[in-house]
Structures are given as structure tokens and as C-alpha cells.
Amino acid sequence: MTVFGELLSPLCAAPDPAPEFEETRWARVLARDKSADGDFVYAVRTTGVFCRPSCPARAAKRENVTFYATCDAAAAAGFRACLRCRPQAAAGRDARASLMESLARYIDAHAHETVKLSCLAEQAGMSPFHLQRVFKAVIGVSPKEYHAAARLRAFKMRLRDGGDVLGAAFDAGYGSTSRIYEQVEGALGMTPSSYRAGGLGETIAYAARKTSLGTLMMAASDRGVCFVQFGDDEAVLLENLRHEFFAASLLPAGPTSTAPLDAWMEVLSGHLAGLSPSPELPLDLRGTAFQISVWRFLMRVKPGEVISYTQLAEGVGAPRAVRAAASACAANRIAVLVPCHRALRADGGLGGYRWGLERKRALLVAEGRKTVLL
């Protein structure tokens, strides 16, 4: 599994429901429009195959064709990829992508060892320079960054299993205690000993408000907002917060809070009600280097503007890591303030949203988007 494998996927297996796009898409299929490759695929019910729009095969009958936004969606519906036009290659699932994913799995298995770029390049049959570029384009981070993340995951797993800090460090491949604090304290968001205790010693204040989009809960550490989520039940949201910060001290906002959370919630509630602009609050972002780069890029997308997942991947310097960029959106735990709702599919469709598509649509409409596709 790659570093992004554990993240939620925003893709679904249902065909694209936007009827106004179907005839346009069918016209592009009849024209074998190569510029449409990667934007969508079409599946033929009589053959059980899905193709890219430019497939040179004889055109199917229109009544037998169903459109899907992604190869994954078509495959989940039971169709297989066309061997002639190889639609998965158009979506970045070509041989090079498979090779890079294999190298990522190799790094996962050897996270506790020194993994040299020259060794990886030899396995891939590429020059180190070329491998570096292709790996980052496909996976979203460099081999060195991926290895650091894999080692950190191993370290965290050993700490959560109850191992002592020193033993976990050496098992994960860190050569000395100084290396632990140099490399992992910032990524953990706390000291290793605190992480081993599940965040024990860290205080997180929380508050909840009823909004037009349902119950909204916000939580903050002493570094800033670390949790903003929508839901229908405050108790469920609090349980989600406990899961994210499983042994930190959770305090309801008030005089004893470590952050001015009541005021921040008031400002954010006012924004959701259309009474004020989006607030600029201090954020405590916790994630992989790639996730944080995606979230920071999203924070530069202005209200009323949108960006496709493809543009998002390009914006963080990893143009072929579209799925990873979408997964980073799905892993975002700070709704609205990290505006992942402004990321859409290439055709303008909503794509996915961790807190429901109706909330995503409502946020976009409130920001000035007059039309939003499903």
C-alpha cells in the first residue's frame, strides 16, 4: 500500500448522472476526440468493456453506452478496460505508474533501512535523475520524502502498540535519539513520548454550534484549529474528535480553554450564515508532506473560485498524482478553513466530499457558484 492508500477516496461507482453532459460526451466519442482522454470513459453494456473517448474501435450503439467520470468507477460497476485503447493509461495508470507503485511498496517494506536513490534507479532501469522526476509525478512526493513518511508510519505504529520511544526509534531505523527529535517531532505534532501516550499532556478545546449545514464542531490545540467537522449529532462529532486525538485532554470551550474557541466559532458560524467573509484563523495542520502541500494550495483558492483535482495536482508540482490529490482532500479534517469543497472533477461535477455532497453544493452556492453539477 502506498502512503496514500489509507486515505479515503472521493470516487464512486455510479455513472455520471449529469444528462446535459451525455450528448456532448457522445459527440466527442463519435469524433474520437483525443483531448477528451482522461476526462471520462464510456462503457458498452453489450461487450462489458470501457474505453477512452478516442478509442479507434467501431462505435457502439448509443443506447448501449454509459458514461463514467473515472476508470475506477467503470471498473467498480463491473466493466473491464479495453485492451485496444488502454483507458487506464490515459488516467495515469500506465506501466510507469505501476512501476513507481511497486517501488513505493519496496520502500514500505524497507522503511527501517537506508534506501539509496541509485538502488531504486537500478531496479527501475532508469537514471537516478529520471526516476526522481517520474516517482514524484506519480506518487506525489520524492523517493526520499516517501521513505521518511514510511519510516515515520512504522515509528508511530510501534509507539501506539506500546513500545518505548528508544526501542521504537531503532526498530524504525532512526540511528539515534537526536535523529528522532530532529525528524519526527514536528510531523507527530507533539513529542514522541506524548504520541506514545496517545497525545497525553496535550490539551484540545472544542465547541459545537448549530448551523444551516447541520451541527458544526471546532477544536483547537495551542497551535491553532486542528479539527472542523460537520455532522447531524454532536455526540458523534465528539467521538470523531476523540478518535483523531485519542488520549489528549479534551475540554469544552470556556474560561479554561487554551484557545479563544468561542470567538472563533462565532466568526465561522457567521461566515456560514453569509454574514462575514471566511475567517483567517491559525491552523494546526497534521498530515504527510504531500497532504499539507495540497491543503495549503487549497487555502490560496479564493471564495467563488474552483479548481479541478487535475489542476490541484499540477499546482503542488505533481501533475500525475491526481488521485493522491483527491485523497488528500478526502483526508482533510478542517472543513471550510481548508476549502477542499472548492476542488471539483475536471467536467465540473462535484466529485466527493467527506461531509456530504449537499453540504459541498451549499458551500459553493453560498460563495457565488450559480451552477454546480452533481
Q: Domain with 220 in it: what CATH number?
A: 3.30.160.70
Helix (H, G, I), strand (E, B) or coil at 115: coil
Give the pLDDT score at 174: 58
Whether 218 has a pLDDT exceeding 90, the answer reads yes
Domain, as residue range, for 351: 289-366
Span 182-201, average pLDDT: 49
Q: Are residues 33 and 105 in the same domain?
A: no
pLDDT digits (tens, 9 = 90+) for 61-120: 988 999 888 887 788 788 888 877 878 776 555 567 778 888 888 888 887 788 889 989
Q: Is residue 9 part of a domain?
A: no
* Domain assignment present for 10: no
What is the per-residue pLDDT for 91? 57
Euclidean distance between CA atoms 355 and 213, whole angstroms: 10
pLDDT at 297: 93
- Domain match, 81 and 123 both: no
* pLDDT classification of 347: cutoffs 50, 70, 90: confident
Distance CA 58, CA 46 (A): 13
Both 246 and 306 in a single domain? no
What average pLDDT does range 226-237 have in this prediction?
A: 92
Distance of CA 351 to the CA centre of its chain: 12
In whole angstroms, give the CA distance from residue 46 to residue 222. 59
**Within a domain: residue 115?**
yes
- In the chain, the percentage of residues whose pLDDT exceeds 90 is 16
CATH number for position 139 = 1.10.10.60
Q: What confidence tier does 169 reach under pLDDT thresholds 50, 70, 90?
A: low
As a whole-number percent, the residues of the chain with pLDDT over 70 amount to 76
Specify if 374 maps to a domain.
no
- Is the domain of 107 the same as that of 190? yes
Query: Which range among 156-170, 247-261, 265-279, 317-331 shows the weakest confidence by mean pLDDT?
Result: 156-170
Q: H/E/C letters for each residue in 306-354?
A: CEEHHHHHHHCCCCCCHHHHHHHHHHCCECCCCCHHHEECCCCECCCCC
**Does residue 114 lie in a domain region?**
yes
Which residues does the annotation mark as catalytic?
A: 51, 340
| C-beta separation of 71 from 93 below 8 A | yes
Whether 129 is covered by a domain: the verdict is yes
C-alpha cell at 80: 473491464
The rounded mean pLDDT for the chain is 77
Last residue within a domain, chosen from 199, 228, 255: 199
Query: Model confidence over 273-319: pLDDT tens digits?
Result: 777 777 888 888 887 778 888 999 999 998 888 999 999 999 988 88
The answer to whether residues 306 and 334 belong to one domain is: yes
Q: So what's the pLDDT on residue 272?
A: 84
For residue 230, being part of any structural domain is answered with yes
Query: Would you state the cell numbers that stand for residue 100, as one nine-digit string?
Result: 513507481
| Residue 301: all three cell numbers together | 483558492
Total domain count, the chain: 4
Mean predicted confidence (pLDDT) in 261-265: 82
Answer yes or no: do 263 and 340 share one domain. no
In a domain, 12, yes or no: no
Last residue of a domain, one of 272, 301, 323: 272
